[in-house]
Amino acid sequence: MTQLEDGAEAEEPSSMCDLFGGDLTKLPQEDDDGACEYKLKLCNPTPERFTHLVTQLHFRLREGQGECLYEIGVTDDGIVCGLSTEELELSLATLDRMAVEADAETCLVRKRTGCDDPTLTAAEVLVRKRVVDQALLDVRVAVAGNVDSGKSTLIGVLSTGINDNGRGLARASVFKHKHELDNGRTSSISQEIIGFDGSGEIVNNGSAHSARSLDWREITSQSSKLITFIDLAGHERYLKTAVFGMTGHLPDYAMIIVGANMGVTRMTKEHLGIALALRLPVIVVVTKIDICPDEVRQQTMKQINKILKSSAARKFPCVISSESDVLDCSKQLQTSARVVPIFSCSNVNGEGLGLLRSFLNLLPARVHWEEQAAAPTEFFIDETFFVTGVGTVVAGTLMAGTCHANQTLMLGPDGNGKFISTTVKTIQAKRNNVECVYAGQSASFGLKKVKRNQIRKGMVMVDPSLNPEAVWEFEAEVLVLQHPTTITANYQPVIHCITIRQAARIVRLNEHEVLRTGDRANVRFRFMYRPEYLKIGARLVFREGRTKGIGKIRAVFPGTE
């Protein structure tokens, strides 16, 4: 996507000690906001003090959208002092009582010695809300990378708990189409989920059942946190599908898969560049380490480090080699997207998968949807179906408000920019029949009296109070990431903006006569084939061949034909 190799030397990726300046006994000063709370001790609090502590816990849980981390034995300045065994047990018991009052569960994730007295111990405890309908935390991860790097296989192994046999057993559960099973390559966008309970255990495999014994309904009912994997195609011919998955499915993170034996390929750089353009935090997973010689694997790690440290990416790569690294890196991701954890694993023998699972359990939510919950309903359509006995079904993401069964919404725009009224008959979320969905959730709606050929990807369903209007022309502030020559008026790239995917013509360059790589300008675009529903502030990606750029919508012009 950009010149990702420039300006970096091929050094080994850094460790977490480097990230913390070599001192893991001193944490950053406590932030009054956020999902992390420092407590020196919680021994036998008075009733008034206990009530205050529970109120504080409720606040931290809201900040973390249902989960937070408590540092016990740590001062507000971040000094890891530690506690005696008796004080630590009393403090953990108090935290357990607080969690019960907040309808949450606790999970001890790490103990470490105090900075001055090695006989004292500090503890880090994950507190997670029990599942309560809309409170179920769902973190979306787009899985991208070059073809044959092991994306679908990794998702299959993580979601089933069964290692691959080296011949494609694990990926069979992820593929949607027969031709994908036949050739072993993803050509569409599919989703899989793994669920974690309040104590951090994966619930997908059940107890004494087979790996596929639990369906999505059972997984969601037993989970307090979901990780939704969005499996993207890796082949170059399906690049537009991969871009649509990263924009239209609104992932929280991008997981870039790199085959240790093939190294960083051009398509790996393309997918990484798209993730960087969309400002998605990046996770790198190096697969196939069981069949890769050490020297080749080390060369791959150096390639990854060089690209991430380049002037175009400006990331801080960090190799994850222990449970302590997992916890430290997940905490850093709560405040900074510059840290890029790098995992090495094998889908056949299972090496390194335990650390990746632990990291996913601690992966913080990135988008706070509470602010959008009270807004009028806005639902962006990314797929359409016809289901026998149900009729026309649309799938997508609820960007604002709530939606319940029998609610009337405006569907559009059609090719003429018109919106029609429709009623939501039924709703499914994570393959469960539900009565209502909330901002930030993916869902499928069964619609009344609407034919499938009336609907396309990129359309929306919105509350009538918004008086939606379609636009032919819009203005965006753009940055050209890569172009071989110059861009002038009448240039026609493909615009990707949330679920919209359509060619648009540049009508006017406001400040420049031409644009070259690295230029930033306000540009007026006009859609080529039909008007679309756009929101000011939405991020976009435009592409045409090797040309790539990003932008942000600054103005829309309804009714312009």
Look up tokens 């507190």; give the residue. Answer: 127
| Pair of tokens at residue 122 | 């500090």
392 pLDDT more than 60: yes
What number does CATH give the domain 134-362? 3.40.50.300
Q: Are 372 and 380 in contact (CB under 8 A)?
A: no
Q: What is the C-alpha separation between 478 and 487, in angstroms, rounded?
A: 12
Fold match flag (370-466 vs 471-558): yes
Q: Are 398 and 452 in contact (CB under 8 A)?
A: no
DSSP readout, 321-375? -SHHHHHHHHHHHTT-S-EEEEEE--TTT-TTHHHHHHHHHHPPP----HHHHTS
What number does CATH give the domain 471-558? 2.40.30.10
Share of the chain above pLDDT 70, in %: 92
Q: Are 362 and 126 in contact (CB under 8 A)?
A: yes
13 pLDDT more than 80: no
Q: Are 260 and 292 in contact (CB under 8 A)?
A: yes
End-to-end CA distance of the chain: 33
274 pLDDT more than 50: yes
Q: Are 137 and 155 in contact (CB under 8 A)?
A: no
**Interval 158-213: pLDDT, tens:** 988 888 888 777 787 777 777 777 667 777 888 899 999 888 889 887 654 444 45
Q: What is the C-alpha separation between 500 and 505, in angstroms, rounded?
A: 15
Amino acid (1-letter code) at residue 133: D
What number does CATH give the domain 370-466? 2.40.30.10
20 pLDDT more than 60: no
pLDDT of residue 134: 56
Q: Are 381 and 395 in contact (CB under 8 A)?
A: yes
**Interval 334-369: pLDDT, tens:** 878 889 999 999 999 999 999 999 999 999 888 888
Kindly indicate whether the domain formed by 30-130 is annotated with CATH number 3.30.110. yes
Cis geometry, peptide bond prior to residue 28 (ω within 30 degrees of 0):
no
Kindly list the distances between the CA atom of residue 401 and the CA atoms of 88, 133, 283, 379, 394, in Å, as whole numbers in the listed order: 43, 16, 30, 9, 18
pLDDT of residue 115: 84
Q: What is the C-alpha separation between 327 and 56, in angstroms, rounded?
A: 22
Nearest 5°: phi and psi at 160? Answer: -105, -25
Share of the chain above pLDDT 90, in %: 62
pLDDT of residue 193: 92
How is the chain split into domains, by residue range? Answer: 30-130, 134-362, 370-466, 471-558
Mean pLDDT, the chain, whole residue set = 88
Banded model confidence at residue 28, pLDDT cuts 50, 70, 90: confident
CA-nearest of 468, 459, 482 to 541 is: 482
